[in-house]
Amino acid sequence: MERMKDIARNLFGRKRESLPEVDPEKERLLEEIRLVCQMMQTAHSRFSAQSDEDLMEACIYEMEALEARYRYLNRQAREQGITCQPYEMHMDAKEGNVVG
């Protein structure tokens, strides 16, 4: 029984390791990158579902604008020393759908 108390004391009596402070500006930038990636996936999905040429063209312009925004945000992140996984668009071979 004493051994159980020692184990519990060791587990619960430890000081919690403090997490590093998160820079709100860096967190905002990462959140904006995530949002742009989601918007890119949505635009790609919408493009693949369109049959009207005008709407397809509108989707193309939207995707190009989002890709430019993504490049800008990545450049900002690099300048601040932030690293994250690059955005990659994957297509489902069977369906032709975007898989993110």
What would the pLDDT profile of 4-54 be if each residue is shown by its tens digit? 777 766 666 655 566 667 788 889 999 999 999 999 999 999 999 999 999
- Give the span between the Cα atoms of 48 and 45, in whole angstroms: 5
Selected residue with higher pLDDT from 14 and 60: 60
User: Is residue 72, in this structure, part of any structural domain at all?
Assistant: yes
According to DSSP, the residues that pair with 90 across neighbouring strands are 99
Is 62 part of a structural domain of the chain?
yes
Non-local (6+) Cβ contacts of 81 within 8 A are none
- Residue 98 φ/ψ, nearest 5 degrees: -75, 130
Q: Does any domain span residue 4?
A: no
Position 12 in a domain:
no
Would the pLDDT of 73 be above 60? yes
- Quote the domain boundaries for residue 87: 24-99
Distance CA 53, CA 8 (A): 67
Does 14 map to a domain? no
Count of structural domains within the chain: 1
Residues 58-81, mean pLDDT to the nearest whole number: 95
Residue 78 lies in a domain: yes
Report field, pTM of the whole predicted structure over 0.75: no
Listed in sequence order, the DSSP H helices in 13-100 are: 24-49, 53-79
